[in-house]
């Protein structure tokens, strides 16, 4: 484990204090399967993703209906792209706040994947979380279809699809960069070293994470409808079940996973210099 010296204030003066990185999570921990807290966390991820998809997809379909000329709407009605972005960012803020103490508040396979690469969660937990997130997304979209059956197919089911005028490369790039922004924010907002160093500055982690989702949606809704969450894209595609949504589905898995991997590498090995610290510890022990 690597140590850093942090400056902390005591009596108006700053004094040196050792900070020790928490040990990496075991790659596979079978003991988790015997703990209720593990299953409680998986259930929390399922319910959170269900609620996330229900509220956000319902918002998207409602906006489409309100702006449909044939349904008596117009472009001035509805919440607009800004409102849709707020729905996604706001729900992430709420749900991360509610579930952070139970499951970590991932609600996104890309976030789980990034944290797994950084050895923050075990492989077993990562797989269970991703399955729960995808099932929750399917159920959330299923509820939307049940409540808005007449509008669901007509307005695209909230499914992510590459917009006309953009090629696959642009869509993939948008998903990579958008997910990088999100996962980088997750790492920064939950960094234990930062929390130890800046304990005098209260930072509510769900807030910057929600704002990251909001800002990315503003930028990429016109391109891909904004995925940056494979469970969100997969759940909507399963319930909508149209060829276009499935043809573009790979973009919303490959892009977010690449973006998450880059964010994990950047934060752990560039900003936190994990590789250099590990090499230093090895040399000091040699």
pLDDT-derived band at 65, boundaries 50, 70, 90: confident
Which whole-number Å values give the CA distances from 15 to 19, 20, 195, 198, in the listed order?
Answer: 13, 16, 17, 14
**Percent of the chain topping pLDDT 90:** 65
pLDDT band at 160 (very low <50, low <70, confident <90, very high): very high
Least confident of 120-124, 246-250, 280-284: 280-284
Mean local confidence (pLDDT), 213-230:
96
Average pLDDT rounded to a whole number, residues 224-242: 96
Query: Is the confidence at residue 275, as pLDDT, over 70?
Result: no
Q: Are 102 and 40 in contact (CB under 8 A)?
A: yes
d(CA 231, CA 236): 8
- Reported confidence tier of residue 261, pLDDT bands at 50, 70, 90: very high
pLDDT at 14: 43
Distance CA 112, CA 257 (A): 10
Nearest to 81 by CA among 250, 225, 208: 225
Considering only residues 60 and 27, tell me which one the structure prediction assigns the higher pLDDT: 60
| CA–CA gap between residue 200 and residue 232 (Å, rounded) | 36
Q: How confident is the model at residue 19 (pLDDT cuts 50, 70, 90)?
A: low
| C-alpha span between 158 and 63 (Å, rounded) | 10
Confidence of residue 272 (pLDDT cuts 50, 70, 90): confident
User: Does residue 1 surpass a pLDDT of 50?
Assistant: no
Mean pLDDT of 184-208: 76
């Amino acid at each position: 484990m690597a140590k850093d010296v942090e400056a902390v204030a005591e009596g108006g003066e700053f004094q040196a204090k050792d900070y020790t990185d928490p040990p990496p999570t075991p790659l596979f921990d079978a003991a988790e399967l015997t703990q209720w807290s593990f299953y409680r966390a998986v259930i929390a991820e399922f319910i959170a993703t269900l609620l996330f998809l229900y509220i956000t997809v319902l918002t998207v379909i409602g906006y489409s209906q309100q702006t449909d000329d044939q349904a008596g709407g117009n472009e001035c009605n509805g919440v607009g792209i800004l409102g849709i972005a707020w729905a996604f960012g706001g729900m992430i803020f709420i749900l991360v706040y509610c579930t952070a103490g139970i499951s970590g508040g991932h609600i996104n396979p890309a976030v789980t994947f990034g944290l797994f690469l950084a050895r923050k969660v075990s492989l077993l937990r990562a797989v269970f979380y991703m399955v729960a997130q995808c099932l929750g997304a399917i159920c959330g979209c299923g509820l939307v279809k049940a409540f808005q059956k007449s509008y669901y197919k007509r307005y695209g089911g909230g499914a992510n699809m590459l917009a006309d005028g953009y090629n696959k490369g642009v869509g993939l790039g948008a998903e990579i960069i958008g997910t990088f922004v999100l996962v980088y924010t997750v790492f920064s907002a939950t960094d234990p070293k930062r929390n130890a160093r800046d304990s005098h500055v209260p930072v509510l982690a769900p807030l910057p994470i929600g704002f990251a989702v909001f800002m990315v949606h503003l930028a990429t809704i016109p391109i891909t409808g904004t995925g940056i969450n494979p469970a969100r894209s997969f759940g909507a595609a399963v319930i909508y079940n149209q060829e276009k949504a499935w043809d573009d589905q790979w973009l919303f898995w490959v892009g977010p996973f690449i973006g998450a991997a880059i964010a994990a590498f950047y934060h752990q090995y560039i900003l936190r210099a994990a590789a250099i610290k590990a090499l230093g510890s090895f040399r000091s022990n040699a």
